[in-house]
Structures are given as C-alpha cells and as structure tokens.
Amino acid sequence: MKIDLKSLVFTAIIVGTFVFLCFRADKVPYIGTYLAGDLFGEQSTLNPNGENGVLGPIAQSHYDSFMLTLWITALLCVTVGGPFVYALFAFKEKKHFDQKKDKLPKQSHGNTKVELSLIAYSTVLLFVIAFLPFGKEKIPAIEAIPYFFEGKSNREGVTTLPEKDPFTINVTGHQWWFSFHYPKQGIVTSNEMVFPINTPVKINLETNDVIHSFWVPKIAGKVDLMPGKTNSMWLYADTVGNYSGQCAEYCGDSHAYMLFRGIATTEDKFDQWVEAQKKPAEIKNLEGKAKEGYDLFMGTTLYAESKKRGMKTNPVTCATCHILGTEKDYKFEPYRKSPYPNITHFAERTTIAAGWRDSNHEEVKKWIQQPGKVKPGNRMWEKFAQAYGVITADTTQDIYNRPETEANAHYEFFTDEEANAITEFLLTLKSSDAPDWNELYGKPIQSKMQKPKTKDTDNNKASEKSAKEKLAKN
C-alpha cells in the first residue's frame, strides 16, 4: 500500500495536537484555563512542576494512577486514533470519482485477526493500568483501592494506617457544612479540620441529612457520606499548610458553598490547639459593644425586628441553635450531629459560612444580617425567616436575583447597630493560647510551585522525625 504523504502530515498534526492537549492543555493561549482547569489552584490534584513537597502518599498514589492512564490514553490515541484519522484523509472519495465508470475498491466487512488483536491489545493495557507499579509511590491501581479506604499496603516504605488505635476524626455532613469530632480529645468543631502532619488520620464519615462527599484534593481522594451508614477513609499530610476541601456531591441550594479547611500542623501546635479548644468561651468580662452583642446573641435584649412586629419576646435567637460551651457543659454525643455549629471558639477559625467567606468584621456582619443572601437556603436564614413570617414552611427559595428573592432571601433580620454588636461579641470568642492559622500558614496552598507560608520549619522537621519513629513501631 502506497503511503499518502499529505494524509500522513494531517494525521500527525491532529493526533499530535490531541496528545499535547492531554498533557499541557493549560499552555494553549486564551482558552487553556477552559480546557485544563486551574492546574495551580488550591484544589488541583495535579503536580505540574514535578516537585513532591505537597502531595501526601494517598493523593500521590492517585496522581500516579492518573498519569499512567494518561500515558496509555496517549498511546491509544497514536496507535488507534492515528490509523483512523489517516484513513479519513487517505481513503476519502476522490474529486473526479464517477460511480458509473470508476471501479470501487474491494468491499469487505470485519477482519477476525484485526478484531482479536485489538481485544488482546486492550486487555493488555487494562492489565498494565491495574498491576504496573508506577510513579513515586509505585502502588498499582488494583492495590490503591484498599490503600485509599483502609490504609493497607504490603509494599516496603509505604505509609500506612495503623490497625490499632489510629488517630481518629469523626466527620458529619450537614446542609451545608461539616462538623469535626475528635473522640479522644473531647472536641467538636466545624469547618476547619486540624490535624498533625506525619500522622495517619482515620476519617469516619456520616451524614445528618442527605448524601455528601468529603474531599481534600491535595492530600486525599473523595468518599461519599451516606444516610444511615458510616463510611471511612484516611489521610496523611507530610507538609504543614492550609489545605482546601469541599463537598463533592450535589446536596442542595448551597452545595457550591459547602467548603472547609484541612489545617495540617506540627504536633506541638496541634496539642496547643487542642488545649485551647478545651477551654470555655471567655464571656465573663465583656464590655461595651461586645457585651451588647452577647445580650443580643442570647436574646435577653429585644430585637428591633421583634419590636417592629409588636412582639414582647424574640421568637428565635442565636442561642436557640448555637451553643457556647465545651464537653463539660454539653455532652458531644449526640450533640456532634447537631445541624448547628458549636461557636465556642468562633474567632479562632479563619473562615465563616463553611469556608465561603474570610473571618473578619465586615464578612461576619454580612453573614449575620443577611444570611440568605450570603448562602442561599441555610438554616439560620430559614429559622429567622419563618419565625418572623417572611416565609412559610412551604416557601421555596429562588437562588437567582428575582423579585421574590429580594423579599425573603435578602431580608435583613438585624439593624446595622445590632449586627455590629453581635459581630464584636463573636470576634471575642477565642483563646489567647490558640495558634493563629492565618499568621502561620496564610491562605490555602495553591500549588507545589508555591511554598506554604510557615513559621514551623524546625518544628516540622522535628515532628516528622518523631512521627517516623512512631510509624516504625507500628
């Protein structure tokens, strides 16, 4: 068979472009972001610059499997797609072909040898994907399944989850935020999961309402939270930092705003945080605006909205749902599954509204005053809106900017003065001994090309050495 040079050139251009896009679609001017996504973003699972300082062993094994599959996809593109594209150009109908005068090529259907060869070829490639040790961790895809869910591996030098008494965090999903229960430490917090580096962490996953999915892209995969069932996974971070996480399963109005932070820190900073979390809220010596805010929070002061409606008492207050207390005040079983966050240490967190907004005076005030505008459908908005008759139990909220949205979701339940006072109070809810995660680690890690901001370099190394000694014992 004579090779058609022109068709070969067209094939090389088309197939070559596809292979290039497989690996570096982000390099295409103007549209690279749309083709490849944000490779350097805080939730990117890719490792474009080849460094290994951020991905933990679990995320690394996923990345290794992905890259092996990508190489095989490129191979298929060349060996299968190449002949197909070449045939489109080389054997297309010629310009001056006359069906009446010119003779057609010999027509045939199917080729047993070719078909069997393609089946064998595909089977071999599937076995390669399943069983070939590849990448940094060299965990084959077939072994990566129990490794991800159970932390088990027989490969030497691979980090695993201890079978006995592992460090455990119980995660509960709510619409639309996550709570974190540390059973050994006696702590329940929300939206920010703090854990020590170089320590395998077992995560038990439950949901309080609908299906959610727990995902910290930089250091672990995703697992669904199913009603009536407890699933589990584990994670491991070898670099301190602020890792971005989110719910990865559509769960209602504000699913897109159901975020959280995974804060990996040194062992001594974690212990410092635990001790701070065990302390009660410091509310005895409040003065000025903060004291006014506390009274408004507890509902001992009549709200302006209640006065406007002729009510003698507040039909709902902040304290109706949120607690200010440690495990000594409230047993965390079953409170840890409450749909309302524990805000005893509210001001120690770097974000509000489940990671959707930074924690500062302006954002907290907006969140208190117009919760439905900041995060559509949330329970705080729903409680106040129903209590004041802005909506009924049958009202459906429209998340788009239509007239009915302005009338209910954007309703201001507190005056500026009240919202400012409550904000002043909430921002006092922190222990002077608690670590400042913003100061230590800054914003969530964007990519491996960005060095995580840290003041714990020496402690990080010491903690890593300690952790490796513990793992060796296990």
Which residues on adjacent β-strands are paired with residue 87?
none
Higher local confidence (pLDDT), 333 or 51: 333
Give the per-residue pLDDT at 462: 47
- One-letter amino acid identity for 327? E
**Tokens encoding 171:** 């995660």
Residue 177 lies in a domain: yes
On whether both 254 and 316 belong to a single domain, the answer is no
On whether both 438 and 457 belong to a single domain, the answer is yes
The rounded distance, in Å, linking the Cα atoms of 368 and 350 is: 17
**Tokens encoding 303:** 């709200």
* pLDDT at residue 368 tops 50: yes
Q: What is the mean pLDDT of residues 388-396?
A: 73
On whether both 230 and 316 belong to a single domain, the answer is no
Cis amide leading into 315 (omega within 30): no
Q: Are residues 171 and 204 in contact, defined by beta-carbon separation less than 8 angstroms?
A: yes
Give the per-residue pLDDT at 119: 93
Query: Within its chain, how far is the Cα of 159 from the centroid?
Result: 22
Higher local confidence (pLDDT), 68 or 402: 68
Query: Residue 193 CB: number of other CB atoms within 10 A?
Result: 24
Query: Residue 80 CB: number of other CB atoms within 10 A?
Result: 13
On whether both 252 and 377 belong to a single domain, the answer is no
On whether both 243 and 188 belong to a single domain, the answer is yes
* pLDDT at residue 68 tops 90: yes
* pLDDT at residue 474 tops 50: no
| Confidence category of residue 125, pLDDT binned at 50, 70, 90 | very high
Give the per-residue pLDDT at 328: 59
| Confidence category of residue 169, pLDDT binned at 50, 70, 90 | very high
Q: What is the mean pLDDT of residues 236-255?
A: 88
The rounded distance, in Å, linking the Cα atoms of 275 and 380 is: 29
Residue 132 lies in a domain: yes
| Closest listed residue to residue 333, CA positions, set 172, 166, 225, 212 | 172
- One-letter amino acid identity for 143? E
Give the per-residue pLDDT at 78: 93
On whether both 268 and 367 belong to a single domain, the answer is no
Higher local confidence (pLDDT), 122 or 109: 122
Which residues on adjacent β-strands are paired with residue 261?
192, 244
Count each helix (H run) and each strand (E run) in the chain, helices first. Answer: 17, 12
Give the per-residue pLDDT at 52: 46
On whether both 234 and 269 belong to a single domain, the answer is yes
On whether both 306 and 350 belong to a single domain, the answer is yes
On whether both 177 and 263 belong to a single domain, the answer is yes
Q: What is the mean pLDDT of residues 368-379?
A: 86
Give the per-residue pLDDT at 193: 93
Give the per-residue pLDDT at 95: 76
**Tokens encoding 452:** 């995580």
Instruction: Determine which helix (DSSP H) or strand (DSSP E) holds 192, and give its type and residue range.
Output: strand 192-196
Residue 448 lies in a domain: yes
Residue 66 lies in a domain: yes
Instruction: Determine which helix (DSSP H) or strand (DSSP E) holds 14, and give its type and residue range.
Output: helix 5-24
| Confidence category of residue 340, pLDDT binned at 50, 70, 90 | confident
Q: What is the mean pLDDT of the chain?
A: 82
| Confidence category of residue 438, pLDDT binned at 50, 70, 90 | confident
| Confidence category of residue 165, pLDDT binned at 50, 70, 90 | confident
| Closest listed residue to residue 290, CA positions, set 431, 432, 426 | 426
Residue 329 lies in a domain: no
Report how many domains make up the chain. Answer: 3
**Tokens encoding 55:** 């991905």
* Percent of the chain at pLDDT exceeding 70: 84
The rounded distance, in Å, linking the Cα atoms of 335 and 181 is: 10
Residue range(s) defining the domain that contains residue 136:
5-91+111-146
| Chain segment 21-62, per-residue pLDDT in tens | 888 887 787 777 677 666 667 777 775 443 444 577 888 888
* pLDDT at residue 448 tops 60: no
Give the per-residue pLDDT at 471: 38
On whether both 300 and 266 belong to a single domain, the answer is no
| Chain segment 265-286, per-residue pLDDT in tens | 999 999 999 999 888 877 778 8
CATH code for the domain in which residue 257 is found? 2.60.40.420
Are β-strands 187-190 and 177-182 bridged in parallel, bridged antiparallel, or unpaired?
Answer: antiparallel
* pLDDT at residue 395 tops 50: yes
* Percent of the chain at pLDDT exceeding 90: 35
Q: Are residues 194 and 348 in contact, defined by beta-carbon separation less than 8 angstroms?
A: no
Higher local confidence (pLDDT), 222 or 43: 222
On whether both 173 and 264 belong to a single domain, the answer is yes
Give the per-residue pLDDT at 337: 67
Query: Residue 149 CB: number of other CB atoms within 10 A?
Result: 15
Instruction: Determine which helix (DSSP H) or strand (DSSP E) holds 352, and give its type and residue range.
Output: strand 351-352
